[in-house]
Amino acid sequence: MEVLWVFLPVLGALLAHAPVLRFGWLGGLKRPLDGRATFRGRRILGDNKTYRGVLVMFLGACVAAVALMHVPAYRARVPSEIRAAGPWTFGVLLGLGTVLAELPNSFLKRQLDIAPGQQQTSLLGMAVSLFDQGDFVFGIWLALAPVWCMTATQALTAFLLVALIHSGINVIGYAIGARTNWR
């Protein structure tokens, strides 16, 4: 299933971000994207969406995509349209989709009073938390649209698998101290 290979470089975002969080690197960029602005009395995005996170996760996904596109076994598994677009176009679009897709869900969680990294036990809260694990799939779907049109079935399949994998990565992140909770 070639669609899953498209999302493999997103691990570069997570792998780049984990040590930055763990060791507090690039502290000068740890400023909230929303500038602490509010909407309806609630923060727009919250403290966890920072310039540091956007930069590191974008670069992690982009560099991983470019590097992987130079590996013949990987390159052969991605859709031909992505191969034709080239490694840098793929990397930049993948990086943009990864980081920009995080923002709408963060906004929604702040408006529902769900603290960063937390869940609500309501049905809506659990749905938002599940969506949070794979939201970047839909961002990447949109970002890659100029070069490759993923089908709705491909996007749903990727979302379900990515959400499961992301949940596992969260547990590992918690175990190594890069996250404050396992969700």
Residues linked to residue 84 through DSSP beta bridges, in sequence order: none
In this prediction the pTM is 0.88
Instruction: Write down the pLDDT at residue 163.
Output: 86
Residue 3 backbone dihedrals phi, psi, to 5 degrees: -60, -35
pLDDT digits (tens, 9 = 90+) for 40-89: 999 999 999 999 999 999 999 999 999 999 999 999 999 999 999 999 99
Between the alpha carbon of residue 139 and those of residues 28, 36, 50, 142, the distances in Å are: 27, 24, 18, 5
What is the SS3 assignment for 172?
Answer: helix
Q: Where are the domains of the chain?
A: 2-175
Residues in the chain where the model's pLDDT stays below 50: none
β-bridge partners, 39? 42
What is the Cα–Cα distance from 135 to 129, expressed in whole angstroms?
10
